[in-house]
Amino acid sequence: MSKNRKARYKETRGGVNALKTLDWESVFSGNPNHTKYLRSLFDDISWRFNLPNPYPGDCAPMTDCRNGEILRNI
């Protein structure tokens, strides 16, 4: 284990930075069958917080949370 804590990965810092720099348009521009679960995640978050979904499209068919309170991807 590294004693240099600054060099260790921190999800709150590293994960946020990774998500900020990810080219989401590129992620969603590929085969739509490969992004159904990711679209489901965006759909859940958008629905739960009453926000427009920036990446609408086909979601995974078994992941609808509209009838319950639990987000399917969390």
Q: How confident is the model at residue 52 (pLDDT cuts 50, 70, 90)?
A: very high
* Number of structural domains found in the chain: 1
Asked whether residue 29 is assigned to any structural domain, the reply reads no
> Tokens standing for 8?
């260790």
> pTM of the entire structure?
0.66
Q: What is the pLDDT of residues 13-24, one digit of tens each?
A: 778 888 889 999
**Residues in the chain, how many?**
74
Asked whether residue 18 is assigned to any structural domain, the reply reads no
Asked whether residue 60 is assigned to any structural domain, the reply reads yes
10 has a pLDDT exceeding 60:
yes
What pLDDT does residue 26 have?
93
Q: What is the pLDDT of residues 24-50, one digit of tens each?
A: 999 999 898 899 988 988 988 898 899
Nearest 10 degrees: CA dihedral of 6, 11, 17, 20? 180
